[in-house]
Structure 1
Amino acid sequence: MFKRRVEAHLLKKPKRSVEIVESFCGWDYLIELIKKCKREVDRALISALFETGGRVSEVLMLGKDNFVVQKPFLVVKAMPVLKRYSKIGEYVDENGKVRWKTRKKIGYRTFPIHMNEPLCPSLLEYIDKIKEGKLFHIGRTQVYRIVRSLDTNIFPHWFRAQRASQLALEYGFDVHDLIDFFNWKSLQTAIHYSRMGWKGLANKMRR
């Protein structure tokens, strides 16, 4: 019992926020992460976390049938979108305030990944070797361990913010494009994630 408590304490995630992601880290750094992976499945996982920009739980739900090659794109179809709620009623709390009763619901998003992106081959090669079913048979804690083994300064959700920054910086995605790509419901969320950094601003000045 004590051993389990110690392990849980060591694996406790530090409080982090996408606010510390100031701009896209660059492909060289991401490629180095892929090279550090000892297993093919880990390389595919890192690629999927970045390329899809999905939450860990969403990435772990992906199966072979979610991917279709339509060159020059790898199209991700009906990827689950979690953290959604629908109103089913109201109630008054102990302070007299009206609160909503909600329940979780799953949305879906379909989007392209350009096959020329450096991380795409690691994901595509892994998908090709799977006959059917889910891509990854691991849990959230294992994903966290894998990512932290590559660099203790990053965490799984970091890839989501990096993807948004990269789309804004390299493809010129504005907040409306990001809303379409990630299927976000809030304009504020897109603004929060889409920092380009000084390099992105400098590139815009050159145009």
Structure 2
Amino acid sequence: MSSDSCPSRRAVSDRDGDVGGRLDALLERVATGDLGAFGELYDELAPSVFGIASRAVLSPELAEEVTQDVFVWVWRSARSFDRARGSAAALISTVARRRAVDAVRREAAIRRKALLLADEPLAWEGGTHPPAALEEREQVQELMTELTELEREAIRLSYWEGLSGPELASRLGVKLATAKSRKRDGLMRMRSAVRAIPLA
């Protein structure tokens, strides 16, 4: 029996086509401001978007942020969707991958900038701080002044000493959830500021 005549394979193909068409229709309804359609689309695609983000970023919390960021984009940009150019699922997956890459680059910038505040001198061939490094160090110091003392402490211990979540909680003398919250809140503040700073 040929694969074309196999009932089970035809059923899978038909089912996938039906799902794809339904997602396309939902995104088109989202373009009209339909909140119900947005909720359905979110329920259908959020798990796969989260999966894409999780494979790229370092933490579930950041993967959740990427997922939310993607669906904010979906709500704002649904009007640009044209099913003749590709499916809703393919479009949203592409956006998810791009936003995950952006998040990885942004996290790398945050870590680099946080480490600039370490006590060790910056090493470079000239033996002293290059002007660009000093300027960036000043930028980071300004960013850190916007954090609370508890947030600064959590970030310093995490990035300078490389403490894990449980180690950070033990050093701070707080519960693990509290330690994670301090670090997360501080990073969110820094992310907002770093968005305006070149990531190169």
| Higher relative strand content | 1
Q: TM-score scaled to structure 1, two decimals? A: 0.21
| Higher relative helix content | 2
Q: TM-score scaled to structure 2, two decimals? A: 0.22
Over alpha carbons, which structure has the higher Rg?
Answer: 2
